Chains A and B, each alone.
Chain A
Amino acid sequence: DMKVTQMPRYLIKRMGENVLLECGQDMSHETMYWYRQDPGLGLQLIYISYDVDSNSEGDIPKGYRVSRKKREHFSLILDSAKTNQTSVYFCASSLQGASERLFFGHGTKLSVL
């Protein structure tokens, strides 16, 4: 069906709480990404996953970690969330590298109070 699904769509957390953002894709894509989108900053790459248990830091990995135990699932974890992590988070996938088309989820709007 060529979909990237993100859960939840909206999330409100208090500072210091742990946050789990989940992403799934049904295209058997090898490569998956987490981006965050902020006004004036555009989309910034947090992490890339090349396949199961093969993850690499992007441009802004500090304060985040990821988990990919199955090819179709890629999770973003915020341990002890901070207010400056309030953002819209997008998951994406591609067949291989970023020279291929990226498929994006609808995003998760996270507010850390």
Chain B
Amino acid sequence: AQSVTQPDARVTVSEGASLQLRCKYSYSGTPYLFWYVQYPRQGLQLLLKYYSGDPVVQGVNGFEAEFSKSNSSFHLRKASVHWSDSAVYFCALSRNNYAQGLTFGLGTRVSVFP
């Protein structure tokens, strides 16, 4: 069975500082990996997606993520955060079979303070 672990439930960071959110996955094959963001009272929105190729993938709003097969990880980074980045961030995994749905981590709540 597949699983996604986000070890940090909450992260607090100052505006302008860098951000790293950790994600570890468990899956025997090669998964599709995603980061989604959820702003208050909204649905989830895709930040970025990885399946193959360059292990560093660029997303929207200055986010990037790095895939490591050896560490079974897919960490999200941003060089300089803005107060509007305050949200809940979800790492997710999709098996490479048709329409199996996504398996989500529990999410990391990010609070950006001025």
CB A100 to nearest CB in B, in angstroms, measures 9
Binding site secondary structure of chain B:
loop
Residue of A nearest to B99 (CB): A97
Q: Could you tell me if B49 and A101 are in contact, using CB atoms closer than 8 angstroms?
A: yes
What residues of chain B lie closer than 8 Å to A92, measured between beta carbons? 43-44
Roughly how many angstroms separate A29 CA and B44 CA in the complex, as a whole number? Answer: 17
* Range of interface residues on B (Cβ < 8 Å): 20 to 34
Residue of chain B at shortest CB distance from A58: B101
In the complex formed, the residue of A with least CB distance to B42 is A106
Q: Mark B96-113, 1 if CB is under 8 A from A, else 0.
A: 111111101111000000
Task: Please indicate the chain B residues that have their CB under 8 angstroms from the CB of A31 in the complex.
Answer: 99
CB pair B49 A90 closer than 8 Å: no
Interface size class of A (residues with CB under 8 A): 20 to 34
Contact A102 B90 (CB under 8 A): no
Partner of A41, one of B36, B44, B106: B106
**Looking across the interface, which residue of chain B has its beta carbon closest to that of A49?**
B99
Cβ of A99 and Cβ of B51 under 8 Å apart? yes
Residues of B within 8 A of A4 (CB): 43
A residues adjacent to B (C-beta < 8 A): 4, 31, 33, 40-43, 45, 48, 50, 56, 58-59, 90, 92, 94, 96-99, 101-102, 104-107
Residues in chain B within 8 A of chain A (CB atoms): 32, 36, 41-46, 49, 51, 90, 94-102, 104-107
Known: A97-B100, A106-B41. 5 other contacts (CB 8 A): A58-B101, A98-B94, A98-B101, A99-B96, A102-B36
